[in-house]
Amino acid sequence: MKALVLEKVRQLTLRDIHIEEYLGPDDVRIKIHTVGICGSDVHYYEHGAIGPFVVREPMVLGHEASGTVIEVGEGVKHLKVGDRVCMEPGIPNPNSRPTRLGMYNLDPAVRFWATPPVHGCLRETVVHPGMFVFKLPENVGFDEGALVEPLAVGLHAARKAQIKPGDLALVIGAGMIGLVTAMAAIAGGCGKVIITDIVQEKLDLASYFGMMSVNVTREDLNEIVSKVTNGWGTDIVFEASGSEDAVLKVFEPLCPGGRVVFIGMPTHPVPMDIVSAQVKEARIETIFRYAHVYPRALLLMESGRVNLKPLITDRYRFEESIEAFEYAANPRPSSVKIVIEL
């Protein structure tokens, strides 16, 4: 089948590749329709590695996908041929200890699309366990279906924050993950969300969603938070930038007893101000991908309470995949999510 293959750093080819895929009784075969380009795909393309994961063999990129079921294993009861679906890209070992404890995202043996040495989904078809395949609601298109994956990250963060009705949240970073986190926070009951970035175009999109945007290159975040909260601080801070400076100052806008959720992954170890957390008895949470949130994401999209459509800023055809990645490595400031349609 045709696939977008990362041969080595900065070298992509769109070529035929043979991937042996046996359809087990609990699997479905899916014809891929749309794939979103994620920051991690671009990182592998530009650097060939993320932390301990190093691309040593040619690897198919892509992990945010939607498609149509074309074959169903005999044990799969919730799907049929022709169903429009989206997929969780990580397949854990069902018998591992983290999986049995409900934390399958933390299974060290998880096989995650486009994380070496596992091939991704920028190819014509995939075989996937039915358990990780979800039917799209009628009013959710293939393009939004491909974005359920990043939305799942935001929803997982919102759950970790244990939002209470009317909470005021601050989201640091208005890239794709910051925006979906803010949307998840609003859907989860936050009364107000303040979101920051250094790129005005991203903040303009945030304002469109009703978030209060702060451009930290020219505005004083702590001053604004203090004004909005009468000096109290925000109930929650979602750190979605991964920036060293943001991590160091993350407890400053927080209210006493507030929660901080670390979502962004700094590219290297960064310092944190523990005392400023202690004097507020801040509760610190972290997330790694997500678990058990796809059905929640789809319900929120079906009800219209989360609308991902405005986040899709750039579209490419499969034949233009290499061009899409070249663009993704150096996008316009207004670009949020680039999708490839097969």
Find the shortest distance in angstroms from Cβ 16 to Zn ion: 26
Quote the least distance from Cβ 63 to Zn ion, whole Å: 6
State the nearest-atom distance from the C-beta of 40 to Zn ion, in Å.
Answer: 6
Cβ proximity to Zn ion: between 280 and 292 the closer is: 292
Contacting Zn ion within 115-144 (CB under 5 A): none
Q: Which is nearer to Zn ion, 38 or 69 (CB)?
A: 38
**CA-CA distance, 87 to 85, in Å (whole number)?**
7
Shortest distance (Å) from residue 289 CB to Zn ion: 9
What six digits make up the tokens of 313?
């800023």
- Residue 147 C-beta: closest distance to Zn ion, Å: 9
Residue list 243-282, contact with Zn ion (CB under 5 A): none
Nearer to Zn ion, 32 or 225 (CB): 32
How far are the Cα atoms of 42, 119, 124, 128 from residue 19, in angstroms, in the given order? 23, 9, 11, 13
**120 and 321 Cβ atoms separated by less than 8 Å:** no
Least CB distance to Zn ion at residue 41 (A): 8
Amino acid making up residue 231: G
Dig out the tokens for 222 from the structure. Answer: 């702590």
Residue whose beta carbon is closest to Zn ion? 38
Beta carbon nearer to Zn ion, 38 or 72: 38
Stretch that binds Zn ion, among 34-42, 68-76, 253-261, 318-326 (CB under 5 A): 34-42
Using CB under 5 A as the binding criterion, the count of chain residues that bind Zn ion stands at: 1
Residues 200 and 171: beta-carbon distance below 8 Å? no
| DSSP H or E segment with residue 285 | strand 283-286
Q: Does 38 bind Zn ion (CB under 5 A)?
A: yes
Region label for 190, one of left (φ > 0), alpha (ψ between -120 and 50) or beta (otherwise): beta
Question: Which of 43/283 has CB closer to Zn ion?
Answer: 43
Residue 12 interacts with Zn ion (CB under 5 A): yes or no: no
Report the Cα 330 to chain-centroid distance in Å. 19
Q: Which part of the chain contacts Zn ion (CB under 5 A), choosing from 20-28, 36-44, 93-101, 311-319?
A: 36-44
Q: Which phi-psi region, left, alpha or beta, contains residue 248 (left: φ > 0; alpha: ψ -120 to 50)?
A: alpha
Using CB under 5 A as the binding rule, whether residue 61 contacts Zn ion is answered as no
Q: How far is the CB of 64 from Zn ion (least distance, A)?
A: 5
Angle at which helices 148-160 and 176-187 cross, to 10°: 60
Binding range to Zn ion, per CB under 5 A, among 32-40, 202-210, 225-233, 305-313: 32-40
Identify any residues that bridge with 339 across adjacent strands, giving them in sequence order. Answer: 36, 315
Residue 234, class by beta-carbon neighbours within 10 Å (0-12 exposed, 13-18 middle, 19+ buried)? Answer: buried
Cβ proximity to Zn ion, 181 vs 213, nearer residue? 181
Q: Compute the least distance from the CB of residue 35 to Zn ion, in Å.
A: 10
**Site residues (vs Zn ion, CB under 5 A):** 38
